[in-house]
């Protein structure tokens, strides 16, 4: 299992050494940087989960570093540490995506607690495997996609992943990389829609010192950093016609030049792209190059929306209940049958991402052990029923989910029904009735 990797960025060597010693003892992988540019180089070349950075550093400030990190990979969490705390600075940092804000002189306990709150515990990556849980499926459509992913993962073939926002396109790309012979090489993610048009070329291909105002160092691009591994171009449908030409050239010739450079750089990169748009329609409308479309669309994968995989909702809910309980430091909660039925019956326009957000909200605001119908956001249980599922089928799905949860609770409690009933938030008598109803063997 992977350990959580933490980067410490601070120009005070005593601070970085102290934090490194404590974090290694806690079981984390650690990296050290003395300035912002050094921190970015480490992030480009390594998998980083959390960055702890001082705000005041020579050259690039911690706030500027935060901004760069969120462009590179929005999933990296940032904790800011400073001796010059002001309310305005804190608000600005939190608005920009910082997860926490700690003032110097700091208590090491506060730093560790902040990390554990972010990660959900020191061994959260060992307890939760998001890719496996997102793809845990009983639907035929998802099972076919999983078979296809396993079949094509260990090839050099370019993959095009289609799907609505929140369907798990990024996780599918990560799974393709993890199952390939490139799994020990970089997996570099680029959100093409999140990077301004004027910066995308330099982000993808890098730049030479002096290439433009502000280019004070040589910076490798994402294709260079992904050499030997995989590059994931998310929201590929949003790139401009000029960038389409440049990307096509790289795909055809396997080489490129940095912005402002004359040296040709060879690249061995497996490309996986994704979009929530219909590229074929864009080609017909003249908005996307046909030759690039054919280059990208070698093996298309269509991620189904959550409304088409209703039978997976109970398993996803159980996973998110566990995950959100860890990350919010709340006791593990359960969900009532009525509340689960409301979730199954909703259309989920925001797909899996929306479901996770709803469960996190319920975990945080519900004081009781069991999330009930009234704890579910009003817009969900007032939305009416989906046309593609009837009450009978709905009850069947919920019954299967409830049975599985009871079996799991009994296993975790070594068959002790009193402990299992407490874990489930129901009486021992109710547990006995459900064991009898579902013919669960002791």
Q: What would the pLDDT profile of 74-118 be if each residue is shown by its tens digit?
A: 778 899 887 654 545 655 666 677 887 787 777 888 888 888 877
Q: Which residues pair with 161 in a beta bridge?
A: 274, 301
Q: Does domain 130-302 have CATH number 3.40.50.2020?
A: no
Q: What was the pLDDT predicted at 387? A: 43
Question: Looking at per-residue confidence, does 8 or 408 come out higher?
Answer: 8
**Mean pLDDT of the 21-45 span:** 89
Q: Which residues pair with 266 in a beta bridge?
A: 255
Q: What was the pLDDT predicted at 123? A: 37
Q: Where in the chain is the domain with CATH 3.40.50.2300?
A: 5-125
Q: What would the pLDDT profile of 138-156 be if each residue is shown by its tens digit?
A: 788 888 898 899 899 999 9
Locus of tokens 């509340």: 339
Question: CA-CA distance, 138 to 248, in Å (whole number)?
Answer: 38
Q: Report in angstroms the alpha-carbon separations of 227 from 294, 330, 394.
A: 23, 42, 48
pTM of the model: 0.63
Contact 77, 51 (CB under 8 A): yes
**Closest to 192 in 3D by CA, of 125, 238, 141:** 238
Q: Where in the chain is the domain with CATH 3.40.50.300?
A: 130-302
Task: State which fold the 5-125 domain adopts.
Answer: Rossmann fold (3.40.50)
Q: Where in the chain is the domain with CATH 1.10.8.60?
A: 307-437
Q: Which two tokens stand for residue 201?
A: 């070329």
**Mean pLDDT of the 220-244 span:** 93
Question: CA-CA distance, 371 to 362, in Å (whole number)?
Answer: 7
Residue 125 has pLDDT above 60, yes or no: no
Residue 4 has pLDDT above 70, yes or no: yes
Q: Does domain 307-437 have CATH number 1.10.8.60?
A: yes
Question: Looking at per-residue confidence, does 280 or 63 come out higher?
Answer: 280
Q: What was the pLDDT predicted at 256? A: 93
Q: Which residues pair with 101 in a beta bridge?
A: 80
Question: Looking at per-residue confidence, does 435 or 19 come out higher?
Answer: 19
Q: What would the pLDDT profile of 261-303 be if each residue is shown by its tens digit?
A: 889 999 999 999 999 999 999 999 999 999 999 999 999 999 9
Q: What was the pLDDT predicted at 269? A: 95
**Mean pLDDT of the 349-378 span:** 90
Residue 346 has pLDDT above 50, yes or no: yes
Q: What was the pLDDT predicted at 294? A: 96
The DSSP code for 259 is B
Question: CA-CA distance, 302 to 141, in Å (whole number)?
Answer: 9
Contact 343, 350 (CB under 8 A): no
Question: CA-CA distance, 170 to 180, in Å (whole number)?
Answer: 16
Least confident range from 245-249, 392-396, 431-435: namely: 392-396
Residue 416 has pLDDT above 70, yes or no: yes
Of all residues in the chain, the percent with pLDDT exceeding 90 is 34
Query: DSSP string spanning 229-267?
Result: SEEEEETGGGS-HHHHHHHHHHHHHSEEE-BT---EEE-
**Measured distance between the N- and C-terminal CA atoms of the chain, rounded to whole angstroms:** 32
Query: DSSP string spanning 100-121?
Result: EEEESSPPHHHHHHHHHHHHTS
Question: Looking at per-residue confidence, does 367 or 305 come out higher?
Answer: 305
Q: What was the pLDDT predicted at 127? A: 35
Confidence of residue 408 (pLDDT cuts 50, 70, 90): confident
């Amino acid at each position: 299992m992977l350990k959580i990797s933490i980067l410490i960025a601070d120009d005070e060597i005593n601070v970085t050494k102290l934090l490194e010693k404590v974090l290694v003892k806690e079981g984390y992988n650690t990296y050290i940087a003395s300035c912002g540019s050094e921190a970015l180089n480490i992030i480009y070349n390594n998998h980083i989960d959390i960055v702890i950075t001082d705000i005041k550093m020579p050259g690039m400030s911690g706030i500027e570093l935060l901004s760069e990190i969120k462009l590179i990979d929005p999933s990296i969490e940032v904790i800011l540490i400073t001796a010059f705390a002001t309310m305005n600075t804190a608000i600005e940092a939190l608005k920009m995506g910082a997860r926490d804000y700690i003032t110097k002189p700091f208590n090491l306990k506060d730093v560790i607690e902040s990390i554990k709150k972010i990660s959900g515990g020191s061994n959260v990556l060992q307890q939760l495997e998001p890719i496996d849980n997102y793809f845990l499926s009983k639907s035929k459509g998802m099972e076919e996609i999983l078979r296809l992913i396993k079949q094509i993962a260990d090839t050099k073939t370019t993959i095009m992943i289609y799907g609505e926002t929140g369907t798990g396109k990024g996780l599918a790309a990560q799974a393709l990389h993890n199952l390939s012979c490139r799994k020990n090489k970089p997996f570099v993610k680029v959100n093409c829609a999140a990077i301004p048009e004027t910066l995308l070329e330099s982000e993808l291909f890098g730049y030479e010192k002096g290439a433009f105002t502000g280019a004070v160092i040589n910076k490798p691009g994402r294709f260079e950093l992904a050499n030997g591994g995989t590059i994931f171009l998310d929201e590929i449908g949003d790139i401009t016609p000029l960038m389409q030409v440049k990307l096509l050239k790289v795909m055809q010739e396997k080489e490129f030049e940095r912005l402002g450079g004359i040296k040709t750089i060879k690249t061995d990169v497996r490309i996986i792209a994704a979009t929530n748009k219909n590229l074929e329609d864009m080609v017909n409308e003249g908005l996307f190059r046909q030759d690039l479309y054919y280059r990208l669309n070698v093996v298309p994968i269509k991620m189904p929306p959550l409304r088409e995989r209703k039978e997976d909702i109970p398993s996803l809910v159980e996973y998110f209940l566990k995950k959100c309980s860890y990350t919010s430091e709340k006791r593990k909660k359960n969900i009532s049958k009525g509340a689960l039925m409301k979730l199954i019956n909703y259309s989920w326009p925001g797909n899996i991402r929306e479901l996770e957000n709803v469960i996190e909200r319920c975990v945080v605001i519900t004081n009781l052990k069991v999330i009930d119908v009234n704890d579910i956001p009003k817009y969900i249980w007032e939305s009416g029923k989906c046309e593609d599922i009837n009450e009978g089928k709905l009850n069947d799905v919920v019954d299967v989910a409830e049975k599985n949860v009871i079996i799991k609770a009994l296993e975790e409690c070594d068959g002790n029904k009193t402990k299992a009933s407490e874990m489930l938030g129901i009486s021992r008598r109710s547990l006995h009735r459900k064991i009898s109803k579902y013919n669960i063997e002791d």
